[in-house]
Amino acid sequence: MLRNIFNGLTDLIYPKTCLACKKKFTTGNNPGKALDNFICGPCRKNILVNLPPFCSSCGRQLDKKNYSKNTCGQCQRKIFHFDRAFSPCSYTGTIKELIHEFKYRNKDHLADGLGKLMTNFIKEYNLPISYIDFIIPVPLYETKLREREFNQAHLLAKIIADEFNKDILTDVILRSRNTGTQTELDHNQRFNNVKGCFTFTNKRDIRGKNILLIDDVLTSGATASEASRPLKESGANVIFAITLAN
């Protein structure tokens, strides 16, 4: 009761702005840093989730014409270095706005709510998390990390690791050059842009280990695939990639 009264008074004095649609809204009653404290009800309902059947490669929701093929049209001619990818959400609308706020406007407090979408997805579809030995977030280049002051993939990885009691490894691969943003590049340019940009550090023995690779977005799959390359070359067994959206 007291919390509801306090929230109501706070909203009257300091009305919140939805991070997705930028309109004023009244907070819900969810404790902590749940997404409902940062976005309005309509935007929360407009989060587009991926539903099965999933592409057996990139994890996108399959359209009807590809049901029998088990892979989406984008993946039928691709060879990835990861074994399979998953994403709970489609990279559009509300989620796209939240990821932009998260990465580029220093809203690192969104990690809890966004990470919860990923852990709920893992549980709902019974992904083989029990077989995972290590969780590895896709690293940023050192200058970008200094500018941003946090790696969004690492924050998401920590939520997943805490939920499922897994170890995070941050010293296994590094991004050896600044690839810049992939946003304006076409499919082939994305793969060429990141080719060879990740190197294995030789600080861990991952031979025979199963890895869960974490990033925020999977579009072409180029970054996740290239980050997986040195891990596979160093003896990793199975590599699953999970991103917040694709």
Give the confidence band of 180 by pLDDT, cuts at 50, 70, 90.
Answer: low
Give the confidence band of 15 by pLDDT, cuts at 50, 70, 90.
Answer: low
- Rounded to 10 degrees, the C-alpha dihedral 165/170/171/177 comes to 160
Distance, CA of 213 to CA of 88 (rounded, Å): 15
Domain range 55-245, CATH class: alpha beta
For residue 168, the cross-strand partners are 135
In this predicted structure, the answer to whether residue 11 has a pLDDT above a threshold of 50 is: no
| Structural tokens at position 1 | 């009761």
Model pLDDT for residues 116-128, shown as the tens digit of each residue: 999 999 999 999 9
CB under 8 Å to 155, separation ≥6 — which residues?
Answer: 108, 111, 115
CB under 8 Å to 171, separation ≥6 — which residues?
Answer: 201, 203, 204
Percent of the chain with pLDDT over 70: 86
Structural domain spans, the chain: 1-46, 55-245
Distance, CA of 102 to CA of 146 (rounded, Å): 16
Model pLDDT for residues 155-174, shown as the tens digit of each residue: 999 999 999 999 999 999 99
Higher-confidence residue of 189 and 215: namely 215
Model pLDDT for residues 212-244, shown as the tens digit of each residue: 999 999 998 999 999 999 999 999 999 999 999
- Residue 92's pLDDT is what? 95
Helices within 109-236 (DSSP H only): 111-124, 142-148, 152-164, 187-194, 222-233
